[in-house]
Structure 1
Amino acid sequence: MTGSTGRPGTWLAWTRTLPLEGDTEAIFAALHGADGGTAVWLDSAQQAYGMGRWSIIGAPEGPRDHVVEFWAADGRVRIDGADAGSGIDLWELLAERLDANPVDAPADLPFAGGYVGAIGYGVKDIGTRRRMPEPDAQLVHLSRFVVVDHVDAVVQVVATGPASDEADARSWIAATARRLGEIAPLAPPLAPPSAGAAEASVTRVRYRRDLDAVRSWLLAGDSYEACYTYTLRCPVDDAPFEAYRRLRRANPAPYASYLRMPGRTILSCSPERYLTVSRSGWAETKPIKGTARRLADPAADRAAAAALAADPKTRSENLMIVDLLRNDLGRISAPGTVDVPQLMAVETYATVHQLVTSVRARLLPRPAAGVRAAGALFPPGSMTGAPKRRTVELLDALEAEPRGVYAGVIGAFSRCGAVDLSVVIRTAVVADGVARIGTGGAITIDSDPAAEADETVAKSAAMLRAFGCTHPFEDGQSRA
Structure 2
Amino acid sequence: MILLIDSYDSFTNNLASLLRQTTHQKVITIHNDAFPPDQYDTFYNDYLSYFDFMVIGPGPGHPANDDDVGIIKFLFEKFKYAKQAQSQSVIPVLGICLGFQCMCYSFGNDISRLSDVRHGQVYDIIPDNDIENLLFNDSMTGFGNVRYHSLYVDEVNDEIIPLAYCYDNDSKVLMAARHSSLPFYGVQYHPESICSTNGEKLVRNFSKIAYDYNQKVNRTIKGHSDESTLPQAFSSHTVHEDYLIPNGIIENKSNTSTDPDIYLKKFQLNNDIDPTDICDYFNRYHEKFFLLNSASIPGEWSIIGLPVLSENEIITHSVDALEVHINVNGNHSTLPIKDKSEVWKLIGSKIKEKYIPRSDINTKLGNYHERDLPFFGGYLGLISYEEGQHVILEQLESICNGNTPDLKLIYIDRFMVYDHTTHDWFVVSIRPNDSEWCESIYTRLTQAEDLKLSLDDIPSSVKDYVNESDQNLIKFEFPSRDIYNQQFAQCQDYLHSGDSYELCLTTQSKITLPSYVNAWDIYKVLTLRKNPSPFSCFMDFEDCVIISSSPERFLSWKNTVDNKKQVELRPIKGTVKNTPEVDIVQATKILKTPKEMGENLMIVDLIRHDLYQFTEQVDVTQLMAVEEYKTVYQLVSVIQGQLSKQGYHGIDVLHSSLPPGSMTGAPKKRSVELLQRIESMQTTSTPNGRRGIYSGVVGYWSVTDEADWSVIIRSVFHYADDKENTDQTKIWRIGAGGAITVLSKASDEWEEMELKLVSALQAFK
The normalised TM-score by structure 2 is 0.57
1:444 to 1:269, Cα distance in 2 relative to 1, 3 A: same
CA deviation after TM superposition for structure 1 residue 281, in Å: 0.3
Please state if 1:70 is matched with 2:317. Answer: yes
| Alignment correspondent of 1:281 | 565
Distance 1:34 1:446 in 2: 51
Contact 2:591 2:635 in 1 (8 A): yes
CA shift in 2, pair 1:99/1:366, >3 Å: farther
Q: 1:242 to 1:328 in 2, by over 3 A?
A: same
8 A contact 1:117–1:138 mirrored in 2: yes
Secondary structure of the residue aligned to 1:98 is helix
**Is 2:445 the partner of 1:180?**
yes
Q: Report the counterpart of residue 458 of structure 2 in structure 1.
A: 189
Q: Which residue number in structure 1 is paired with residue 289 of structure 2? A: 39
Matched, 1:139 2:409: yes
Q: Following TM superposition, by how much is the alpha carbon of 1:304 offset from its aligned partner in structure 2, in angstroms?
A: 3.9
Q: What secondary structure sits across from 2:380 in the alignment?
A: strand
Picking from 446, 458, 461, the partner of 2:755 is 458
Please report the RMSD computed on the Cα atoms of aligned residues, expressed in angstroms: 2.2
Answering whether residue 519 of structure 2 is matched by residue 240 of structure 1, we say yes
Q: 1:5 to 1:230 in 2, by over 3 A?
A: closer
1:427 corresponds to which residue? 715
- Write out per-residue CA displacement over residues 62-89 of structure 1, whole angstroms, 9 at most, x where no aligned residue: 9962211111233421122834213252
Report if the CA contact (8 A) 1:284-1:360 is conserved. yes
Deviation of 1:236 after TM superposition, in Å, equals 2.9
User: In the alignment, is residue 13 of structure 1 matched against residue 295 of structure 2?
Assistant: no
Change (3 A) 1:289 1:407: same
Displacement, 1:90? 2.5
Superposed displacement of residue 440, structure 1: 0.5
User: Residue 367 of structure 1: CA displacement?
Assistant: 5.8
| CA offsets 1:379-422 (integer angstroms, 9 cap, x no match) | 10100110000110111112123101011100000110111010
Q: What residue identity is the alignment partner of 1:244?
A: Y
8 Å CA contact 1:253–1:271 kept in 2: the answer is yes
Q: What amino acid sits opposite 2:301 in the alignment?
A: W
The aligned amino acid for 1:186 is L
* 1:248 Cα offset (Å): 1.3
Q: What does residue 436 of structure 2 align with? A: 171
User: Percent sequence identity over matched residues?
Assistant: 32
Counterpart of 2:105 in structure 1 is none
Report if the CA contact (8 A) 2:576-2:591 is conserved. Answer: no
Take 1:6 and 1:338, find their aligned partners in 2: how far apart are those partners? 28
Unaligned runs of 5+ in 2: 1-250, 363-370, 465-470, 681-685, 720-724
Q: Which amino acid aligns with 1:239?
A: N
Determine the structure 2 residue equivalent to 1:158.
Answer: 428
Q: What's the CA shift for 1:425? A: 0.6
Bigger mean CA deviation after superposition, 140-149 or 89-98: 89-98
Q: Secondary structure at the match of 2:736?
A: strand
Query: Is 1:295 equivalent to 2:602 in the alignment?
Result: no
Worse overlay, 122-131 or 143-152:
122-131
Q: Distance in 1 between matches of 2:419 and 2:565?
A: 22
Where does structure 1 lack aligned partners over 5 or more consecutive residues? 469-480
What number of residue pairs does the alignment pair up? 451
DSSP-derived class of the 1:317 partner: helix
**CA 127–144 in structure 1, closer or farther in 2 if over 3 Å, else same:** same
Task: Give the direction of change, closer, same or farther, for the CA distance of 1:366–1:248 in structure 2 (3 Å limit).
Answer: farther
> 2:584, 2:633 within 8 Å by CA — same for their partners in 1?
no
Pick the aligned partner of 2:595 from 313, 318, 329.
Answer: 313
Matches for 1:4-403 after TM superposition, within 5 Å: 7-10=254-257, 11-21=260-270, 22-31=273-282, 33=283, 36=286, 39-46=289-296, 48=297, 51-61=298-308, 65-80=312-327, 82-87=332-337, 89-104=342-357, 105-106=361-362, 108-129=372-393, 130-132=396-398, 133-161=403-431, 165=432, 167=433, 169-183=434-448, 184=450, 185-187=452-454, 188-192=457-461, 193=463, 198-200=476-478, 202-237=479-514, 238-249=517-528, 250-279=530-559, 280-297=564-581, 300-333=582-615, 335=616, 337-364=617-644, 369-400=649-680, 401=686, 402-403=690-691
Quote the Cα distance in structure 2 between the aligned partners of 1:370 and 1:63: 30
Alpha-carbon offset, residue 310 of structure 1: 1.7
Using the size of structure 1 for normalisation, the TM-score is 0.89
Q: How many Å apart are 1:95 and its aligned residue?
A: 1.2
Supply the distance in 2 between the matched residues of 1:174 and 1:144 (Cα, whole angstroms). 12
Instruction: Determine if contact 1:293/1:458 at 8 Å carries over to the other structure.
Output: yes
Who is 1:436 aligned against? 733
- Contact map agreement 1:58 1:146 (CA 8 A) in 2: yes
- Counterpart amino acid of 1:191? S
What is the DSSP-based 3-state SS (H/G/I as helix, E as strand, rest coil) of the residue aligned with 1:61?
A: coil
Which residue identity does 1:198 align to in structure 2?
F
Mark the CA change 1:38 to 1:27 in structure 2 (over 3 Å): closer, same or farther: closer
Distance 1:426 1:34 in 2: 26
Q: Is the 8 A contact 2:716 2:733 kept in 1?
A: yes
Q: Is the 8 A contact 1:287 1:382 kept in 2?
A: yes
- The alpha carbon displacement at 1:102 in A equals 1.1
Asked if structure 1 preserves the Cα contact closer than 8 Å seen for 2:264 and 2:428, the reply is yes
Please give the secondary structure, in 2, of the residue aligned with 1:379: coil
| 8 Å Cα contact 2:269-2:446 kept in structure 1 | no
SS of 1:389's equivalent? helix
Larger radius of gyration: 2
Aligned to 2:55: none
Report how far residue 20 of structure 1 moved: 3.3
Deviates more, 1:428-437 or 1:285-294: 428-437
8 Å Cα contact 1:290-1:308 kept in structure 2: no
- The 2-side partners of 1:239 and 1:14 are apart by 33
- Greater relative contact order structure (CA < 8 Å, 6+ sep): 1
Question: Shift in Å at residue 38 of structure 1?
Answer: 5.0
- Check conservation: 2:376, 2:702, Cα contact below 8 A: yes
* 1:13-50, Cα deviation, whole Å (9 max, x unpaired): 2211011332211211223x15957531001111x1xx
Letter of the 2:485 counterpart: R
What secondary structure does 2:447 align onto?
A: coil
Contact 1:62–1:143 (Cα < 8 Å) also in 2? no
Cα deviation per residue 1:332-363 (whole Å; 9 max; x = unaligned)?
11x1x200010000011011110011100001
Do the aligned partners of 1:12 and 1:103 also contact (CA within 8 Å) in 2? no
Once the two structures are superposed, what CA deviation does each residue of 1:146-176 show, in whole Å capped at 9, x if it has no partner? 0111111111111114xxx1x2x11211111
C-alpha distance in 2 between matches for 1:35 and 1:463: 28
Checking the alignment, whether the CA contact within 8 Å between 1:218 and 1:225 is kept in structure 2 is yes
Per-residue Cα deviation, 1:90-130 (whole angstroms, up to 9, x for no partner): 22122110011212334612101111011010101312122
Contact 2:388 2:657 in 1 (8 A): no
